[in-house]
Structure 1
Amino acid sequence: MTFHCPECGSERVHQSRVRPGERTAANLFQIPFRCRDCKTRFWGRNTGAYIVTLAGGGFTLFIGWIIWFALLHDEPGSIKLLSDSQPAAMSEAPASNPLLSSAIARGEEIDIKTLNDEETSIPDANNPRYYTTSLFLDKAIKGSADAQYQLGLLYLAGRGTLQDFSEAAEWLTLAAEQNHSLAQYELGLLYQIGQGVELDMEKSYIWFNIAAAAGVEQAILARDKAMRALSAAQLKAAQKEARDWLDNKLKFKQKTNQR
């Protein structure tokens, strides 16, 4: 598949490496590229990731069918989930949070390290889809920006819970207001496409601009793209609002440090 540079249109592009902190739910099936002519860095579709995902899904369905077939017949030598000698308690919820953590460790955006300093309750064994969100919910409610960001991504992708864009936007907004740069970038994306929030290119530009100022590289290209959709007056107002937001955060931080 041939990629063209979105800035100069050149086909002389090559794959770039994914930098720490860049991989998010929004670009899960994309890879970065860089133009050899104008040096622009942009993201494009990762066809290989789609193929691997489809292949993995087909394999999982095949294994599930084999297990179902064996249990249905229930003949000697068939696969059984629980032997007669095992106590009924063995089929209940995992006994410790590390088991829950290992069960969801495949999620790239889930940072289990944020949970190391605090115990969380084990959710109902009959609702395994809530395992993941329960690990972050307590800390998110208590004001942890990183937990709010992680929870927003889970709702955004529908991983470990039902997909809910409005819920995702609420948690990402809480994290963004606490100056979490990656949450600011994700929130900018939501406003750009009107997912979970009303489509608003001015707010999209504001959050991209704030995230870019914090060093989120992918927010720079996203900000410049959003800028093209604004009039001169809208752009001036959005830049002022972003500047005022940063100034207020800086003043609040200074007051906090003086106490």
Structure 2
Amino acid sequence: MFGSQALAFDPQAATKQDACCDAATMSTLREATRAYYSGDKREAVTGLLAAAQSGHPAAQWKLGRMYAKGDGVAEDDMKAFEFFSQLISAHGEDSPSSPDAPFVSSAFVEVGSYYLTGIADSAIVPNVNRAREIFTYAASYFGDALAQLKLGSMYLDGVGVDQDPRQAARWFLLAARKGQIDAQAKLGEMLVRGDQIEPNPVHGLMWLTIALKRAELAHHDDAGIRAAHEEAFSLASEDERRKAIALADQWLVDNDAAFTQAYSERAIEASTTR
């Protein structure tokens, strides 16, 4: 799994019976899914609300995302926060291997992010300690890659914790191995620079190469990654470049199938209409 960055409106959640819900709720969710991907977001919201009220995790997560982004509804961070909070309140201790675990872990990351910044004109004020606790839980219990990235960034910058580059690198590595692009880039930069952790120019350039190629494939903003890669490449010796490229190519081959599947919107849309 490639973490929250690759999480979409999981078709599996809309096409099979869930322990939380009856057949009618599942049918409603399937129709809402079809409506969403066909562009009828008003109809999708109606169905999602009905499914969410019946406690379906995928519906609660999707509504949270829609309100957070203003996707088919007026942007409303407080409503998004409420949907995510309902989801984690009901399913926060579910097994990490459960079908709904990706939605649950993503909801934790969303709530943690809101506590990190606060929500304007609401009772949700910035609380970095609470954000760190939430990210730690999602990163450790669910192994969520985006939570691991955010937690690593807090340790790197000393936000809510004592600055600890080694701990930051540890979390970045866990997320990088799952394919989290920004974690790959951050870890690569740390290894190349070597001013906060032990330098390793070969593995640093390897991770930056992987991050750049994956960013291009995923249409991820790659300006910063490209600049870091170019700097690392210019500083590396010919032997270091050769070794780094070989390692990156092998990693990409070993992980290509899972990454391609995770980012294939065509596959996701086709699955929702089964």
Query: Is the radius of gyration larger for structure 1 or structure 2?
Result: 1
Instruction: Decide which structure has greater strand share.
Output: 1
Instruction: Decide which structure has greater helix share.
Output: 2
Structure with higher RCO (Cα < 8 A, 6+ apart): 2
Please give the range of the TM-score, normalised by the shorter of the 2 chains. 0.3 to 0.5
TM-score between both structures, scaled by the size of structure 2: 0.46
